[in-house]
Structure 1
Amino acid sequence: MSPRAHLVPAALAVWAAALAGLLWAWWWAVVIGLAAGVIGVLVLRFTAGATARPVLRSARPAAVAIAVAGPVAACWIGVQLHTSAHHPLRTAAERGGPTTLRFELDDRPHGLRTSGFGSRQGGVDLVRAQATLEDGGRLVVLAPAATWRTLLPGQSVLARGSLAPARPGEPTVALLRVRGPPREVTPAPVWQRAAEALRSGLRDAGGALDPEPAGLLPALVVGDTSRLSPRVVEEFRTAGLAHLLAVSGANLAILCGAVLLLLRLLPVGPRGRAAGAMVALVGFVVLAGPEPSVLRAAVMGAVALLALVLGRERSALPALAASVVVLVLHDPGLAVDLGFGLSVVATAALVLLAPSWAARLRDRGVPAGLAEALAVPAAAHLATAPLIAGFAGEVSLVAVPANLLVAPVVAPVTVLGVVAAGLAQVHEGSARLVVELAGPAASWLVAVGRHAAAVPGSAVAWPQGLAGGAALAGAVAVVAVLLRLRRVRVLLAAVVVGLAVVLAPVGVFAPRWPVSGWAVVACDVGQGDAVVLATAERGRAVLVDTGPDPVPVLACLRRLGVRQVSLVVLSHLHADHIGGLAAVLAERGVGAVAVGPSREPEWAWEEVREQARAAGVRVVELGVGQRLSWPGLELDVLGPRVVPRGDENTAVNDASLVLRASTPAGRVLLTGDVELAGQAGLLDAPVDLRADVLKVPHHGSRYSSPAFLAAVRPKVALVSVGAGNRYGHPSGVLLDTLARQGALVLRTDRDGDTAVLPGPDGPRIARRGDPIDN
């Protein structure tokens, strides 16, 4: 065994012990740790003596390491997980109920972005934080963002809330849901206050840029995503750039590398340069906040720096393995932490794969700088793809070129961001000037992520979970082995070229989606509504509601090739129907925004007016009896027909605009979230409700009357609903009623984007995942 790999089996044993103890039961950590120790002892005995072959004797150092690390992991990790599993608060959490606890925050509260539903405005309204109880148990806290988001690690607080069981696979003993503000808050440590001052200065200086690059800069530098657009987050994930939004070893390697480069220009010896790099590393830890995730990144950054900046690849792998052993023993929860796994695997790829790949490219005549620029993102993406696929359920096909395009600007924008954070403490104007210098690079990153995510087929679906990640890892390993065989390598190259020649034109010139002749598409936007109505003018459509978030509705319009939206109709002003409006106004040419008579909730009405005003688009009100016409499409306004009554949410729902669309595929009834009173008003009115297609009211809630459904008598019922929603939508009773009436029921949570087309015997259905000839 190579001397560089002697500690690798020990690191894998420690990691496996913690992983099994967390995912199965605490005693599995003991079993696997002791089993690893026994294996190490057996290898030592088998390789003892002068008669052992040299190749076997070379495994003895690794056997010694695993013989020591295995039992240590069994005892140390086993005790921690046993204590967590038998903590008295865990039993209390199973029963639930209110409690008052004192704890100390371990990390900064991180915002949880919600889509909004009903009258609730979407956005960051909750924070999640890790905390340590006075008796040493670990706790997850969910609390209101307004009063908790400014707290810092190291602060001790008293809070009253309700207990709930912790998620499986975490070393925490309970989840505490807090409704009120923290009480008896102690001061934060001085270094935490200094770190927050630096981060705040960077956020304030970012005001010199446009909103998207301004929100991206703190995320790139210190992992602060509080002002980052959810659209940018989604695009970076699809493009394989999400690693840039979290503090990682790369941040530290970039900063320390910049310091080393600067010191090499000065008369400073090797020890002085090393000391300067260490000062930069410690300073960055202070800037980002000395939390567990940052400390983990500091260790990984030091390893990457050792390998890539100092050129000591031989010492990097043992240092990485030793870091894994120490970190997992210190915090077993890292064994199931995606960020930790990505850090370790990416660093290993940079140490083991990237140098040899770059050398092979140089041997083939590729310039040195370009060879490294190609090898580094390719190695990192290939190594981390199984983890990302298992977690996100998709594989990015544009990650390598996207990372190659952003690689030249990541280091400069990171260094400039750190400089701006420091300058902001002494002179805000200078900090804003440095931020403006970083602005073009930050804008380039946003543009690359946006265009890469917009490439057709930029990401392909893959099975989630451990099985999916293992399957992709196995596929990558098989391909890597096959590529070592020259004949197979030539054959694989021919297959790839053949697929590109055959499938690329098919994907470009005869795409599976959208299907030709679509008239109506119910977009899969999660727990919300967004329905696109085609006009006879190519690239133009009418959009009814915009869903809860900007990314899904924009993605749906992009897939359909809709460039101009003649009219955006907001059936009512609940968050799950207007959440994507600002993005549609910004990204598509919009003729006007139409609303109904209701102006509630007030915050939503003000938001719609402000967004339309900012985009220079008129807001118009539609009334019963109006007819709107475009080539190939007519809309008749049928409702609302009642004076809204009841609680606030029900009143707003019953005030929904009800539209009848006349399309080449037949009549389509669009009902917003109209409930029983609103449906009764429509039944009492002298209006023909019959339709070929029904957009089922209120995401398929139970508040739809059989009489209303019988009056519509749809052949196709479209339910726009989010997977696994907590409202119980769609109602089983409703689905049974529609089925008895002979309607074909389609749900966006299961069928995805669903199109309605004209057919010889009525409307025809096509789903995004259907074969091309559907």
Structure 2
Amino acid sequence: MDLNNIIIFVSAAFAAGIWYSGLYSWHVSMLCALAVLLLLVALWRVHRNCRQSFWPIIGLFFIAGILYYQQNVMVRSDDISQYVGQNVSVEGVIDTIPETTELNAQSRLARYIVNVEKVKPERADLLVRASGKVRVSVLYKEKFKPAAYGDRITVHGKVLELHGYNNPGQIDMTVALKRQNITARMSVQSHNLAVVSSKTLHSWRVALADWQDRIVNALQKVMPVNDAAILTAVLFGGYQGINKNVINDFTTTGLIHILSVSGSHIALVAGLTRWLGNRLKLGSLPTVTLAGLAVILYAVISGLTPPVIRSAVMGLISLLAVVIGRESYAPAALSLTALGMLVYQPMLLYDISFQLSFGATAGLVFLYQPTLKYMTKLPLWLAGPLAVTLSAQVVVLPLIVWHFNSFSLISFAANLIVLPIVELVIVLGLAGVILYTVVPVIGNIVFVVSSLLIGLVIILTALLASLPGSTIYIPSVGIAGSVMYYLLLAWIYGWRPFNIPGPRGLIVNWPRQCAIIATLVICSVLIYIWYPRPMSVHFIDVGQGDAALIITPHGKAVLVDTGGSFDSSSFDVGERVVAPYLKHYGVTVVDYLILTHGHQDHAGGAAGVAANIRVNKVMLARETYSTAVQALLHTRPVPTVIPTYTGQNFQIDGVAFNIEQAVDNNNRQPATGNEVSSVVRVSYGQHSFLITGDLEAHGEEELLAKKVNPCTVLKVGHHGARTSSTPAFLQAVSPKFAVISAGYNNRFGHPHPETLKRLADIHTIVYRTDQQGAIVFKSDGKHMEIETYIK
């Protein structure tokens, strides 16, 4: 086996060890013993000149990946996360340039990443050494000058655990922070932070940030804000300030990667520099050297973020292969780069950017030439771009499906029509930045031209995104399905184990058998799709809020509440949490959206859900419409609105939905607040679920007066507040299981200990989204199965 393949297999084995270690735990002693055994076998085979010594070495790298991952995720004894739940004083140095957000005219939010050096617990007298990084959010209610990068500060407050939304089908932001060695967080007022010593570091990061700010200000002076935000994104990365509709259009057309500096940007810079060098007849070595310098300069200008570093390293290795005349080493170079980055940070394997960038690059390295050969009948100007797009997309398709459950069919056309214009915008933008630094007037002229091209790009992407069928939904296929997909892909591209003929050979030699097998596969898929499954009720982790998804045996969906953010954050729970959850479970249409009432923590995500997933009917309490409900009613297409009333019911696939109680708004004063919460009962076979919104004691008394029936599962009212779940009500409904939907470490103290005691007194088994994440009940009408995201 040649060196190329050895490097590829070694890197793959190390990555597989990291992945396997993330799934299963192994005793270190057992792993070490196995590693020693493999090492002895490898040495013995090398001594005997046995060619099979390769496989024990591969096994060693697999075990190395397991051990390295386990060592990396271990938390040091002096890490700041060891003080979670305690009030402490933290002393450290601000490690990155602070981010500030304007909440309103009177308040600002500053976010710092603090490299912790010392900690003083509340009852201790002295500071003790500590390690790790803490993310500190500071609320300022007056004009302020935030602490600067490099300042030594002290922060007093409670250390909080990193905690995200624990649902399947979502990017785990907690893990993303831990990859940066951020292991805890703090949220304090401005008077709890003090600058010990101001040490304005003369760092290239500070200088670069100041220079980027000047460029952004220059862009905003000569072009519309949205155009300036897009040009800033393609030059420096980030989506700040870009219109949400534009981002959606770029996502739909498969061009969203253009809005963050990636391998395509690096390749463009390197290719353009090499073209310029060839035109000037500089020679091979000076041209490649100039291209390498251009790549390094562009990476520095873009901020040397991890994705940029990955792309730059790959670009430099590719240029080095050109210099030494070893382009055939590209697969080994790609593998070696991946191995080096995983050694630096093994948790990168779970990073979506890492997966997509290396997957797409692997597609170009391994599949571009074979794909181009398949397109010999097409003109070269069309075959080349199509081969690039197809070879990259087919490799990352399972990753895209797992993370997004959608695939852009229009991406091929977008890459042919829009991408060349975007590349011209990048080139002009870089030229404008350089010219503006030297001659601002000429730079401004280039920026204006770029703005006109950006306007054309926005029009074209909106047009392509609006075409019917521009994106299709694809369900997640899991690990087994992904393995089968890659085996099939390898077979199509020439992998022929056991002398199996290729696709064309099979069809030519055994047409009848192929037709029978294809028919059987199609019939099996159709039967699988239409065969009824157990009814499932999902209580989604939306933080301090409520959201319940009911999926009927034939896949119809009813959503009760959507969660929502309390603060003025731009984070949309409906768009970022609930909609991805629904897509992960194959929900592309919500037949009924029932909002128990209009409070932000129940309806705040409704508009975000409706903007991403079609909602046919909305059932609303008869109350004054809140801002959240009004936003829902302004989405397109406008869903049918049905006011709720007591006794209202409907049935889907044998699952019965009944409104047990709803406000009767015949009074002069419009109804608002928790007391208007509709109570929804979901029944299937022998089991029923009672979803009570924010129902409090008075509402429970009204429900008791109507002789409420028992239920199997109770969604506890008002997130487990003391003012809900009275003893009389709990005795009447006598649930076997109870679900409390509450935010982790929420400021309201939900669920209240008294509520938990009342549930314990009637021997109800309690599940909590703040502790177990998403909670799923599955029933065939007789039996009940319960799954939690956090075991």
**Aligned counterparts, 1:200-599, within 5 A:** 222-226=236-240, 247-261=261-275, 269-270=283-284, 273-274=287-288, 277-303=291-317, 313-320=327-334, 323-324=337-338, 327=341, 331-332=344-345, 336=349, 338=351, 341-342=354-355, 345-346=358-359, 349-350=362-363, 352-358=365-371, 360-362=373-375, 365=377, 373=385, 376=388, 379-380=391-392, 388=399, 394=402, 399=407, 404=412, 406-408=414-416, 409-410=418-419, 412-413=421-422, 415-417=424-426, 419-420=428-429, 423=432, 426-427=443-444, 429-440=448-459, 442-443=461-462, 451-452=470-471, 454-455=472-473, 457-462=474-479, 485-487=499-501, 490=506, 497-498=518-519, 501-503=522-524, 510=530, 526=542, 528-529=545-546, 545-548=561-564, 549-551=573-575, 569=595, 571-584=597-610, 594=620
Task: Name the CA distance, whole Å, in 1 between partners of 2:397 and 2:660.
Answer: 50
- For the 8 Å contact 1:346–1:383, the answer to whether it is kept is yes
User: Which residue pairs with 2:155 in the alignment?
Assistant: 160
- For the 8 Å contact 2:738–2:764, the answer to whether it is kept is no
Task: Name the CA distance, whole Å, in 1 between partners of 2:485 and 2:412.
Answer: 23
Task: Name the CA distance, whole Å, in 2 between partners of 1:496 and 1:308.
Answer: 46
SS of the counterpart of 1:674?
A: coil
Task: Name the CA distance, whole Å, in 2 between partners of 1:439 and 1:587.
Answer: 23
Is 1:141 paired with 2:134? yes
SS of the counterpart of 2:186?
A: strand
Structure 1 counterpart of 2:211, one-letter code: A
Structure 1 counterpart of 2:291, one-letter code: A
Q: Structure 1 length as normaliser, TM-score?
A: 0.62
Structure 2 counterpart of 1:2, one-letter code: D
Per-residue deviation at 1:353? 1.5
User: Which residue pairs with 2:695 in the alignment?
Assistant: 674
Per-residue deviation at 1:710? 5.5
| 395 and 446 in structure 1: CA distance in 2 versus 1, 3 angstrom threshold | same
- For the 8 Å contact 2:737–2:764, the answer to whether it is kept is no
**Aligned counterparts, 1:86-235, within 5 A:** 88-89=78-79, 93=83, 97-105=87-95, 129=113, 131=115, 139-144=132-137, 155-160=150-155, 162-163=158-159, 172=181, 174-180=183-189, 183=195, 184=198, 186=200, 189-198=206-215, 222-226=236-240
Per-residue deviation at 1:289? 0.9
Unaligned runs of 5+ in 1: 48-52, 112-123, 600-604, 644-650, 742-746, 757-762, 770-774
Task: Name the CA distance, whole Å, in 2 between partners of 1:29 and 1:128.
Answer: 40
| 30 and 690 in structure 1: CA distance in 2 versus 1, 3 angstrom threshold | closer
- For the 8 Å contact 1:355–1:375, the answer to whether it is kept is yes
- For the 8 Å contact 2:429–2:450, the answer to whether it is kept is yes
- For the 8 Å contact 1:374–1:404, the answer to whether it is kept is yes
**Aligned counterparts, 1:648-659, within 5 A:** 654-658=674-678
**Aligned counterparts, 1:19-58, within 5 A:** none
SS of the counterpart of 1:416?
A: helix
| 460 and 667 in structure 1: CA distance in 2 versus 1, 3 angstrom threshold | closer
User: Which residue pairs with 2:170 in the alignment?
Assistant: none
Task: Name the CA distance, whole Å, in 1 between partners of 2:385 and 2:79.
Answer: 51
Structure 2 counterpart of 1:413, one-letter code: V
SS of the counterpart of 2:132?
A: strand
- For the 8 Å contact 1:21–1:28, the answer to whether it is kept is no
Q: Structure 2 length as normaliser, TM-score?
A: 0.61
Per-residue deviation at 1:252? 1.2
Task: Name the CA distance, whole Å, in 1 between partners of 2:86 and 2:612.
Answer: 45
- For the 8 Å contact 2:616–2:640, the answer to whether it is kept is no
SS of the counterpart of 2:599?
A: coil
Per-residue deviation at 1:619? 13
1:161-212 CA distance string (max 9 Å, x none): 55578989868485353534564473652123224555677799996659xx
Larger relative CO (CA 8 A, sep 6+): 1 or 2? 1
1:609-647 CA distance string (max 9 Å, x none): 466568798999989x89989999997864499x9xxxx
Per-residue deviation at 1:298? 1.3
| 34 and 437 in structure 1: CA distance in 2 versus 1, 3 angstrom threshold | farther
Task: Name the CA distance, whole Å, in 2 between partners of 1:430 and 1:145.
Answer: 40
Task: Name the CA distance, whole Å, in 2 between partners of 1:27 and 1:103.
Answer: 38
**Aligned counterparts, 1:571-720, within 5 A:** 571-584=597-610, 594=620, 605-606=626-627, 608-609=629-630, 612=633, 638-639=662-663, 654-658=674-678, 671-683=692-704, 687=706, 689=708, 696-698=715-717, 701=720, 703-709=724-730
User: Which residue pairs with 1:2 in the alignment?
Assistant: 2
Task: Name the CA distance, whole Å, in 2 between partners of 1:420 and 1:384.
Answer: 29
- The total of aligned residue pairs comes to 684
Task: Name the CA distance, whole Å, in 1 between partners of 2:21 and 2:590.
Answer: 52
Per-residue deviation at 1:739? 9.1
Structure 1 counterpart of 2:422, one-letter code: V
Task: Name the CA distance, whole Å, in 2 between partners of 1:217 and 1:33.
Answer: 51
Structure 2 counterpart of 1:100, one-letter code: V
Task: Name the CA distance, whole Å, in 1 between partners of 2:267 and 2:98.
Answer: 23
Task: Name the CA distance, whole Å, in 2 between partners of 1:495 and 1:202.
Answer: 62
- For the 8 Å contact 1:240–1:403, the answer to whether it is kept is yes
SS of the counterpart of 2:477?
A: strand
| 384 and 736 in structure 1: CA distance in 2 versus 1, 3 angstrom threshold | farther
Task: Name the CA distance, whole Å, in 2 between partners of 1:500 and 1:506.
Answer: 10
1:369-413 CA distance string (max 9 Å, x none): 665556555554565578x49xx9x38786595764554344643
Task: Name the CA distance, whole Å, in 1 between partners of 2:397 and 2:557.
Answer: 37
Structure 2 counterpart of 1:289, one-letter code: G
Task: Name the CA distance, whole Å, in 2 between partners of 1:416 and 1:637.
Answer: 58
Unaligned runs of 5+ in 2: 102-107, 119-127, 163-173, 437-442, 565-572, 766-771
Task: Name the CA distance, whole Å, in 1 between partners of 2:38 and 2:253.
Answer: 39
| 32 and 222 in structure 1: CA distance in 2 versus 1, 3 angstrom threshold | farther
Per-residue deviation at 1:581? 2.4
SS of the counterpart of 1:179?
A: strand
Greater mean alpha carbon deviation, residues 695-704 or residues 657-666: 657-666
- For the 8 Å contact 2:93–2:114, the answer to whether it is kept is no
Greater mean alpha carbon deviation, residues 246-255 or residues 631-640: 631-640
User: What percent identity do the matched residue pairs reach?
Assistant: 17
SS of the counterpart of 1:186?
A: coil
| 191 and 344 in structure 1: CA distance in 2 versus 1, 3 angstrom threshold | same
Task: Name the CA distance, whole Å, in 1 between partners of 2:94 and 2:30.
Answer: 30
1:686-707 CA distance string (max 9 Å, x none): 6565599987343873742353
| 699 and 431 in structure 1: CA distance in 2 versus 1, 3 angstrom threshold | farther
Per-residue deviation at 1:102? 1.9
Task: Name the CA distance, whole Å, in 2 between partners of 1:108 and 1:32.
Answer: 47
Task: Name the CA distance, whole Å, in 2 between partners of 1:287 and 1:522.
Answer: 46
| 153 and 180 in structure 1: CA distance in 2 versus 1, 3 angstrom threshold | same
Per-residue deviation at 1:98? 1.4
Task: Name the CA distance, whole Å, in 2 between partners of 1:216 and 1:720.
Answer: 42
SS of the counterpart of 1:160?
A: strand
